[in-house]
Amino acid sequence: MSEAPDAKASDTLRPPRGRLPAWLAGQLRNVAPFATLLVLVGFFWAASDSFATLGNLQNILTQISVTAIIAVGLTFVILCAEIDLSVASIANATGIVAAYFTAQDASVTIANVPLPGWAAILIALASCFALGWVNGFGLTRIGIPSFIMTLAMLQIAAGICALLVRGQIAYAVPPLIATLGSRSLGPVPWIVIVAAIFLLIGHIVLTYTRFGRYVYMTGGNREAAENSGVNVRLILSAVMIISAVCSGVAGMLGVAYFGSAQQNEFDTYLLDSISAVVVGGTSLFGGQGGIGNTIIGLFVLGVLNNGLDHVNIDSFLKILIRGLILLIALVINVYAQRLRAAR
């Protein structure tokens, strides 16, 4: 008779059966990227003496800064269950526009009408805003799927790049852009500070504003969002413009960071920015994820790319490894969505 209460008490202290697997299922999209980051850091820390240093941390932060700014805007788009394939081309076009309208050296004859630095920046920002508006108009008013619409914009922006530079290279950028893209505030590069500001603003907007709630509602259940009074067309247009403007700013800073503006300079950033968002755990189906996930994804890619440079590995194998990690992230993303739907 005396053993029954003890047995019952021990049962109440024991977690309910199935509680832990259910929690893991619900958090799989968040846990997996963080675990991947820890594994990568631990591996490269053990494999290379030059990896775990403050100087290398600064290198990683600088290397992911341009991708981070692009990924902020892309996070808004993917949270709405859409995609933007034009981010890299818009970044390239905006950077070239900023350089095109900046006074060049006497040996460079790309810009026939040099303008003050502030005017060149405004024209560049207006250009990326306009390209984002066209993306939003095609998606919401004409009804073109975002994949096709932004694929067309990728070609349009690439055409703008080719038309402006015509195979040449521009080196001059507005002084403000040169400072933010290539100089430092003490030991911290300005481009890292700008990327951190964009990430912080993106997190605040998505987490604490009505617009952010509407973004999640639009991505989670578009029909329910419309029935709740959300202007879904406006939200989709807005996120396309946000994505383009973020890409444009990244493009201008990237030109200063690279030291020149030329055609196809940002081509690799399309895969990098999408990978950062997806690897971090933001759902391709919309409504799940956020800037916090994107930050983890950025560090996963940054640590991976940087760490591979510190170990003796075939350079061509790096591309394969990055592709495999992206594939694993996509599998986890889809699997997590199925678990969520089953629950």
Q: Residue 9 has what pLDDT?
A: 44
Q: Give 143's Cβ-side CA count (13 Å radius).
A: 0
Q: Residue 106 has what pLDDT?
A: 39
Q: Residue 329 has what pLDDT?
A: 76
Residues in the chain: 343
Average pLDDT of 262-270?
Answer: 90
Q: Residue 82 has what pLDDT?
A: 95
Q: Residue 77 has what pLDDT?
A: 97
Stated pTM of the model: 0.87
Q: What percent of the chain has pLDDT over 90?
A: 56
Q: Residue 122 has what pLDDT?
A: 94
Q: What are phi and psi of 261, to 5 degrees?
A: -120, 120
Q: Residue 281 has what pLDDT?
A: 86
Q: Would you say domain 33-342 falls under CATH 1.10.10?
A: no
Q: What are phi and psi of 185, to 5 degrees?
A: -105, 95
CB contact at 8 A, 277 and 75 = yes
Q: Residue 26 has what pLDDT?
A: 57
Q: What are phi and psi of 126, to 5 degrees?
A: -65, -35
Average pLDDT of 259-276?
Answer: 90
Is the pLDDT confidence value at 1 over 70? no
Is the sign of the CA dihedral 273, 274, 277, 280 positive or negative? Answer: negative
CB contact at 8 A, 154 and 89 = yes
Torsion over CA of 301, 305, 310 and 311, rounded to 10 degrees? 100
Is the pLDDT confidence value at 35 over 70? yes
DSSP secondary structure of 238-296: HHHHHHHHHHHHHHHHHHHHHT-B-TTTTTTHHHHHHHHHHHHT--TTSSS--HHHHHH
How do 188-189 and 184-185 pair as beta strands?
antiparallel
Which DSSP symbol is given to 174? -
Question: CA 120, 122, 125: angle at the middle one, nearest 5?
Answer: 110
Choose the weakest-confidence range: 116-120, 175-179, 183-187. 116-120
Over residues 203-252, the pLDDT tens digits come to 999 999 999 999 999 999 999 999 999 999 999 999 999 999 999 999 99
d(CA 210, CA 50): 45
Q: Residue 87 has what pLDDT?
A: 96
Q: What are phi and psi of 8, to 5 degrees?
A: -65, -40
Q: Please give the mean pLDDT across all residues of the chain.
A: 86
Average pLDDT of 123-127?
Answer: 95
Is the pLDDT confidence value at 169 over 70? yes
- Name, in order, each residue with C-beta under 8 angstroms of 11's C-beta and a sequence gap of 6 or more: none
Average pLDDT of 3-12?
Answer: 46
Per the structure block, which two tokens stand in for 311?
A: 């170990």
Smallest CA-to-CA distance from 73 within 206, 202, 191 is with 202
Q: Scanning the structure block, which residue is given the tokens 């890409």?
A: 247
Q: What percent of the chain has pLDDT over 70?
A: 86
CB contact at 8 A, 79 and 287 = yes
